[in-house]
Amino acid sequence: MSNKPIGIFDSGIGGTSIFNEIHALLPHENSIYLADSKNAPYGYKSKDEVIALSIKNTELLLEKNCKLIVVACNTATTIAISYLRETYDVPLIGIEPAIKPAALNTQTKAIGILATKGTLSSELFHKTTDLYSNGLKLIEQVGEGIVPLVEAGQTNSDEMKALLETYIQPMLKANIDYLVLGCTHYPYLIPMLLQLLPNHVKIIDSGLAVAKQTKSVLEQHNLLNDTTRTPQNNFFSNGNVNVLKTILDAKFPVSYLDF
Ligand code: DGL
């Protein structure tokens, strides 16, 4: 049993969508969240840059005594998690686009995947799609421009709507019935996507699966926090703290930290 915090990092504020799922499932766990907004988006950086940024974030969370680290970023997971697992002696949870449930359930045999360039071009992504995409049409779309708009607090802007309309167009033409959101910034777009997509298209993200995996790994390592005290959930950003506060509905403490 441990009251040490869970560490969570993302290239910015998108990983808060994963924090929300973890907090809902494990309401007594303390946590520390790092929003590396200064370096967002990771999706266009080289492999070496994403690995270096992931090391920096991981080491800061370890300095802050975290008992487990959630890489709440598909791009950092697909590019850097194997390196982090080889290097650090701490349980690491990653996130990947939820291709499997979409592939197992699609009726139209066509699936849309919206993710960053880094994720869509990663080896891990190709391995997963090779495993599950047999006989299916996968319409992969880079969500260019989405992360910077979310980081700027423009989740509901006309500009965002125009981008999403363009990105889902080829998917609708291909008759998808599942849209996989492969970036932790994208769950904040679900209200807008629901307006733009026909009713039969289901949206899948990986947040709940990551929360369940976090719980199960904490259990395996005997690291669950068994107190019922109100937890401390602290957020640090090296970018615009106000956007982070807003996306958290001002429910948790947010501080600026230069990391
Ligand atoms: N939230 C990150 C992800 O899940 C965004 C990546 C980026 O910064 O481009 O991929």
Q: Per-residue pLDDT averaged across 141-156, rounded?
A: 96
**Substitution candidate for ligand 1 out of 53, 116, 125 with most atoms within 8 A of CB:** 116
For the chain, which domains are there? 6-95+207-256 (3.40.50.1860), 99-204 (3.40.50.1860)
pLDDT for position 227 = 85
Q: Per-residue pLDDT averaged across 173-200, rounded?
A: 97
Banded model confidence at residue 84, pLDDT cuts 50, 70, 90: very high
The string of pLDDT tens digits covering residues 106-127 is: 999 999 999 999 999 999 999 9
The string of pLDDT tens digits covering residues 222-242 is: 999 988 888 999 999 999 999
For ligand 1, say whether the CB of 75 is within 6 Å of any of its atoms.
Answer: yes
Q: Where are the beta strands (DSSP E) in 87-129?
A: 92-93, 110-115
The whole-angstrom separation of Cα 175 and Cα 8 is 36
The whole-angstrom separation of Cα 67 and Cα 219 is 12
Spacing, Cα 209 to ligand 1 middle (Å):
18
CA distances from 229 to 66, 79, 117, 245 (A): 18, 37, 41, 23
**Substitution candidate for ligand 1 out of 19, 147, 237 with most atoms within 8 A of CB:** 147
